[in-house]
Amino acid sequence: MTIMDDSFDLTGTWLGDDGSTTYLRQVILGDSIQIFWASVSALGAYPFSNIYIGYRVGDSIIGQWVDVPQTNDDYIGSMSLVVADANTIYQVANTLNYGTKIWTKVRSGFPPSCPY
């Protein structure tokens, strides 16, 4: 098995296969690569809003997610992901039924700065 190069940055906006939007930030802290995200459900879908904090090693991301009080959900769990390429992430394991299974990058980096 080949370990994927983890030198490319996953920071950006991602669309979930359930219509959700995830704002992901990859940060190098010391000798580790950390992943942070905020994810919200699509309008009209089952409502959820959560954050995720994890570590990336090669093509693997392992971390924890927790719902935030934007909706009535009050869940927390662990989730493992695999980075298929710079534009695709798959869920491979979780401790609860986290709805999104596949994320596709729709924008890299941060949006353009506001002119004012």
Query: How many domains would you assign to the chain?
Result: 1
**3 domain-assigned:** no
Asked whether residue 116 is domain-assigned, the answer is: no
At 114 the pLDDT is 74
Q: Is position 6 within any domain?
A: no
- Which CATH number characterizes residue 88's domain? 2.40.128
pLDDT tens string 72-108? 777 889 999 999 999 999 999 999 888 899 999 999 9
Asked if residue 72 is part of any domain, the answer here is: yes
Give the DSSP letter string of 1-64: -PPPP--S---EEEEETTS-EEEEEEEEETTEEEEEEEEEPPTTS---EEEEEEEEETTEEEEE
Q: Is 57 part of a structural domain of the chain? A: yes
Q: Does residue 2 lie in a domain region?
A: no
The answer as to whether 71 is a domain residue is yes
pLDDT at 10 over 80: yes
What is the extent of the structural domain holding 54? 12-107
Question: What's the rounded Cα separation, in Å, for the pair 85 and 105?
Answer: 10
